[in-house]
Structure 1
């Protein structure tokens, strides 16, 4: 999907809260880093940030520090933090601002994304749910692609449909979906049949944020 237009900035969102968006985002960033690519994981969910809790980071500075600064330039090395995982760097949200949507749609956010694209092989962004606030709509068209996380037991079909409509209205490049927290009819765990006589089973540890 990135043959004609390389994807270097990717956001993951969901229709509503508590559908596993942040957990999927964090794990995707880790897996990508394990392939040897330099990855920056950004917490742009400025209202319900989780990155600093997941990785035990200091959240006194972060994305909001960059977006609210009046300095002509900012040393990202002083704000971006190591993850303890090879090739993975982290940018927490920073202090909660009174105007998240305005910050995410600002020229400074565009400048930051441009700088991050030049510095990293992949920038993965955790953004707010589509149906909760307008934050993701205002930033999505400045990103190369968006993936929608759908929770099998929680996401409503109408909610997912509306989230897709909003992304299209924002001219976002929707790559597809991640079906999260899948449980087969036969019990716990994932079960996929590919129609070739083989069964594939994946364990489900039940972890979902």
Structure 2
């Protein structure tokens, strides 16, 4: 039986024929066509501020990519408020921080999810120095050494609140910026974009969350889904 978190958050898995799931498949297609000239293997998802829905959006995007048969690794690099272990109902006793601090092997900390082709690396214990860990040589070596996956998604903290996302962004092939249209001021979203660009981040686009359209069907579709 599915837990409540999975039913609430992973609608692309629990209800793949829903308009919500179709919205994420559209996002997946947009991502594929965002740059045909360069391979996109390491993609980070961030937001301007907290509670914009970035982790839920990323989890569902990862599911839809895995559903195409591609082998996907989802890394929870939000070392301040990690949630991927809750979304996928996994233990978080060991994860990314253990891999970086204790120099464990990836196979010792990566989880197989209930979804075919999708593996999860949870955050592990929250460290006192997230930015230093994420910007470390060990982190870069780890990211560059993962060759058994077709695509790697990284969930990072909000870009404006702390420096973690900016530090990580330069190591990525692309960045998606999630914007909650009901919560985030335009100035804050612009600030997030500018900070990422200063770090030479390659911004692929923005995902607008909680966009309302007239008509009941579309309102639900875009509330949970996203538009690029």
- TM bucket normalised to smaller: 0.7 to 0.9
Equivalent residue for 1:202, pick from 205, 221, 224: 221
- How far apart are residue 4 of structure 1 and its match? 2.3
Match of 1:114 in 2: 144
- How far apart are residue 112 of structure 1 and its match? 0.9
- How far apart are residue 75 of structure 1 and its match? 2.7
1:183–1:189: 8 Å Cα contact kept in structure 2? no
Unpaired stretches in structure 1, ≥5 consecutive residues? 192-200
Match of 1:89 in 2: 119
Within a 5 Å distance, the mapping from 1:70-85 to structure 2 comes to: 71=103, 74-85=104-115
Matched, 1:100 2:133: no
Matched, 1:65 2:95: no
Which structure shows the higher helix fraction?
A: 2
Name the CA distance, whole Å, in 1 between partners of 2:181 and 2:175: 19
- How far apart are residue 162 of structure 1 and its match? 0.3
- How far apart are residue 205 of structure 1 and its match? 5.5
Q: 1:169 to 1:123 in 2, by over 3 A?
A: same
Match of 1:172 in 2: 201
Q: Provide the alpha-carbon RMSD of the alignment.
A: 1.7
Normalised by the length of structure 2, the TM-score is: 0.80
1:149–1:178: 8 Å Cα contact kept in structure 2? yes
Equivalent residue for 1:42, pick from 75, 92, 99: 75
Report the secondary structure of 1:56's partner residue: coil
Match of 2:66 in 1: 33
Match of 2:46 in 1: 13
Name the CA distance, whole Å, in 2 between partners of 1:60 and 1:133: 24
2:52–2:209: 8 Å Cα contact kept in structure 1? yes
Q: 1:162 to 1:204 in 2, by over 3 A?
A: closer
Name the CA distance, whole Å, in 2 between partners of 1:79 and 1:65: 8
Normalised by the length of structure 1, the TM-score is: 0.87
Matched, 1:22 2:41: no
Name the CA distance, whole Å, in 2 between partners of 1:79 and 1:188: 43
- How far apart are residue 115 of structure 1 and its match? 1.7
